[in-house]
Amino acid sequence: MATSKYSHQRESIINFLTGRTDHPTADAVYQYLRNDLPTISLGTVYRNLNQMAASGRILRLHVDGKTDHYDACTDPHAHLLCTKCGAVRDIHMNFEDDLIAQAAEISPCRVDGVSVLFTGLCEECADCVDDEL
């Protein structure tokens, strides 16, 4: 795999994503970074996110069919898409090897990976619904 040249902008993006569990969109990354990097463009943010996703440094999540979200945690884990507010949350669980093995057993296709997306309510929305009852 070819290595990328150091970029202050790329490093700022990865620093912003690291440790976050809210899986921001490219626009959210841009809005945050332009406080510290006023000359950064949305195109630069997209270009860097695309490079890092292609190299496996971050995950690109296609969760709602419209907007990509980004995750610096590349360890196998599932996600939950909140059907009320649209938030994307991590669900850390051990599932990858079992699902890949099961799929490989029943499918003639070569299975290389798995992505699990649950739908439901995030903790905040679930609490609001509980309060309404």
What's the rounded Cα separation, in Å, for the pair 37 and 57?
22
122 is in an annotated binding site: yes
What's the rounded Cα separation, in Å, for the pair 83 and 122?
8
82 is in an annotated binding site: yes
128 is in an annotated binding site: no
Q: How far is CA 19 from CA 23, 46, 68, in A?
A: 10, 20, 18
What's the rounded Cα separation, in Å, for the pair 54 and 68?
14
What's the rounded Cα separation, in Å, for the pair 23 and 129?
23
What's the rounded Cα separation, in Å, for the pair 131 and 123?
12
73 is in an annotated binding site: no
Annotated binding site for Zn(2+): 82, 85, 122, 125
Annotated binding site: 82, 85, 122, 125
